[in-house]
């Protein structure tokens, strides 16, 4: 039976994988994968990692020396993996889509909460305070929302927005000609949108796409939502703009320095990261802890696809969801073409 070192394991991970796994001996490790913890994979044939594990060149070299053959990402994003360093050493697979509905719905939940201030109303009524002053929102019907990224999640979010009767503008480096939406330039989207929601992957082109210069192009009193990757937004610039009253509201499920913060309980600890502390302190900011994916359906899909990826690798066949350095071009860089039907090395 092949052995899998499962890093950054949470209770919900273990419940789900124990339910579906029949072929592998899984060693659950609560620590995140990093150069300092990679030795815990000794004796494993594969490692299973999540969004905040550090899979850099140093980590990969350690894993390679330990005899690890496969890095199985139980997530869609792979910006935390040094794909170049892994090439011809360790194969990489991922879960390209587990529940785009979950993430899109969470983005809308953040938007609705910020607009109608239901979180504040809940806190008031829990204290028997039924005053509604300060809870005023606006009709989203007829307003303009800008959607940055029109992949699987972005498309579903667009459909949700259509149900609200919003005007929709979209921006994507690779526009979908079959999508019934008005594509515009990024500058046009930023300047015309009452609300903006980010649904693009983190790439060299999108890193810190939202910064002091692009924020300045947005309307005053705009609502900004990010359920994609934290480093798409420069958090320092965002905080400065919040202090200057630029935003009506900001909803974040991700944060650019979340690796050592999210998914852990620090309720009795002083957080050393001043930026996130100040962001949370803003009255018009809601931060959730990278939970947009967390639904029953998503967890089941993550588990089943990850196990299928493992089966494909150890059975010696082609890998449907492989990521490799050889594949440079396409809408998803490093994602192998489905036409190839062969391993990259």
Say which of 257, 290, 315, 326 is annotated catalytic.
290
Q: CA of 90: how far to CAs of 70, 316, 344, in Å?
A: 5, 14, 11
- Give the closest residue to 273 by CA, choosing from 260, 263, 286: 260
Say which of 74, 229, 326, 343 is annotated catalytic.
229
| Exposure b/e, 108-142, CB count within 10 A at least 16 = b | bbbbebbbebeeebeebeeeeeeeeeeeeeeebee
**Helix/strand/coil for 44:** coil
Q: Is 304 exposed, middle or buried (0-12, 13-18, 19+ CB in 10 A)?
A: middle
Order the strands of the 285-287 sheet from edge to edge. Answer: 182-183, 167-171, 144-148, 195-198, 222-226, 247-252, 285-287
**Helix/strand/coil for 119:** helix
Q: From CA 52, how far away is CA 61, in angstroms rounded? A: 18
Contact in structure between 96 and 335 (CB atoms under 8 Å): yes
Q: Tokens at residue 11, please? A: 């209770």
Active site residue 258: yes
Active site residue 290: yes
Say which of 25, 258, 335, 342 is annotated catalytic.
258
Active site residue 199: no
- Give the closest residue to 102 by CA, choosing from 297, 241, 337: 297
What does DSSP assign to residue 85?
A: H
Q: From CA 119, how far away is CA 323, in angstroms rounded? A: 40
Q: How crowded is the C-beta side of 213, counted as CA atoms within 13 Å?
A: 4
Q: Tokens at residue 55, please? A: 């899979």
Q: Is 3 exposed, middle or buried (0-12, 13-18, 19+ CB in 10 A)?
A: middle
**Helices in 173-290 by DSSP H: which ranges?**
186-192, 212-216, 235-243, 274-281
- Give the closest residue to 50 by CA, choosing from 89, 87, 98, 9: 9
User: Annotated active-site positions, please?
Assistant: 229, 258, 290
């Amino acid at each position: 039976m092949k052995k899998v070192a499962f890093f950054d394991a949470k209770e919900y991970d273990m419940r789900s994988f124990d339910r579906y796994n029949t072929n592998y001996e899984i060693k659950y490790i609560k620590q995140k994968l990093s150069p300092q913890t990679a030795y815990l994979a000794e004796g494993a044939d594969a490692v299973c990692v999540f969004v905040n594990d550090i899979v850099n060149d140093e980590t990969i070299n350690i894993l390679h020396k330990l005899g690890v053959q496969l890095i199985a990402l139980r997530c869609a994003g792979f910006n935390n993996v040094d794909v170049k360093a892994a090439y011809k050493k360790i194969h990489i697979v991922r879960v390209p889509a587990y529940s785009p509905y979950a993430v899109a719905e969470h983005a809308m939940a953040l938007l609705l909460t910020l607009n109608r201030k239901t979180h504040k109303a809940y806190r008031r009524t829990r204290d028997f305070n039924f005053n509604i002053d300060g809870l005023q929102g606006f009709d989203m019907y007829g307003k303009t929302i800008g959607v940055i990224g029109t992949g699987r999640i972005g498309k579903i979010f667009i459909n949700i927005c259509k149900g609200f009767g919003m005007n929709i503008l979209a921006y994507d480096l690779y526009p979908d000609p079959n999508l019934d939406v008005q594509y515009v330039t990024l500058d046009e989207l930023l300047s015309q949108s009452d609300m903006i929601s980010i649904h693009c992957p983190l790439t060299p082109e999108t890193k810190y796409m939202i910064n002091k210069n692009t924020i300045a192009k947005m309307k005053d009193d705009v609502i900004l939502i990010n359920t994609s990757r934290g480093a798409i937004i420069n958090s320092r610039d965002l905080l400065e703009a919040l202090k200057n009253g630029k935003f009506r509201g900001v909803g974040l499920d991700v944060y650019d320095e979340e690796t050592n913060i999210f998914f852990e309980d620090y309720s009795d600890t002083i957080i050393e990261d001043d930026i996130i502390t100040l962001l949370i302190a803003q009255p018009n900011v809601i931060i959730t802890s990278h939970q947009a994916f967390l639904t029953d359906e998503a967890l089941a899909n993550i588990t089943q696809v990850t196990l299928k990826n493992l089966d494909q690798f150890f059975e010696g066949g082609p890998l449907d969801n492989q990521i490799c350095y050889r594949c440079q071009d396409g809408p998803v860089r490093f994602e192998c073409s489905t036409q190839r039907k062969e391993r990259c090395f």
